[in-house]
Amino acid sequence: MRLTPKNYNLNDPPYVNTIGVPKNGWAAIRFRAENPGVWFMHCHLEKHATWGMDMVLIVKNGSTAATSIRPPPAYMPDC
């Protein structure tokens, strides 16, 4: 099924992966870190990013190959 703008639910849309935080408030978020990498978490209003309403989560390698980041190829230059 293809969604078209005329079918979007703009009256009471579900909040999926969204946490409302009141002014001067805070939120505690608990999650399972099982996908290694660097993940950017942000407010969906671009202006808020300049106010510091974003963060980076660094998930380190797990104990198995499936939960670890592969090393970069040998031909990649060092940073």
| CA 66 to chain CA mean position, Å | 20
Closest CA to 23 of 62, 49, 53, 54: 53
Q: Does residue 1 have a pLDDT over 60?
A: no
Give the model's pLDDT for residue 2.
67
Closest CA to 61 of 34, 27, 32: 34
Closest CA to 59 of 40, 42, 78, 35: 35
Q: Does residue 75 have a pLDDT over 90?
A: yes
pLDDT digits 0-9 by tens, 5-61: 787 777 887 777 777 888 898 888 888 888 888 888 887 778 888 888 888 888 888
Give the model's pLDDT for residue 36.
87
Whole-angstrom distance, CA of residue 10 vs CA of residue 66:
39
